[in-house]
Amino acid sequence: MRIAAMVFRLRAPWVHSLKEKRMIVKSLIAKLQNRFHVSAAEVDAQDVHQLIVIGVAAIVPHNALADSLMEEISLFVEENTEAEIVGEEREIR
């Protein structure tokens, strides 16, 4: 059993309030949870309007599935938000 963990850093320059940011974050997290059945949460920079940091974690049976899942999640995030991905970290534990 392995844990696939990812952290996405997104930049949304058009966001000017925490309320706007919260709508983007909640939408993306709900989509990730519904599509991939993973744990997801905003993990950093909660008080910064234009920076979104989302952590995603899933339990998988082996490394090959972890790599595949993380690639799918990365593509999904890119396609389902207008925010620019400025950083992505992947780890298999």
Structure tokens at 85: 């991905």
Number of structural domains (the chain) is: 1
pTM: 0.87
Q: How far is CA 90 from CA 4, 6, 47, 49, 50, in A?
A: 7, 5, 24, 24, 22
Cβ proximity of 70 and 6 under 8 Å: yes
| Position 4, amino acid | A
Tell me which residue range forms the domain holding 88.
Answer: 2-92
Write out the DSSP string of 39-62: EEEEEE-TT-TTEEEEEEEEEESS
* Bridge partners of residue 5, in order along the sequence: 57, 91
Digitized pLDDT (tens) for each residue of the chain, 93 residues in all: 899 999 999 999 998 998 999 999 999 999 999 999 999 999 988 888 899 999 999 999 988 889 999 999 999 999 998 889 999 999 999
E strands, the chain, where? 2-11, 39-44, 51-60, 84-92
CATH of the domain at 76: 3.30.70.1120
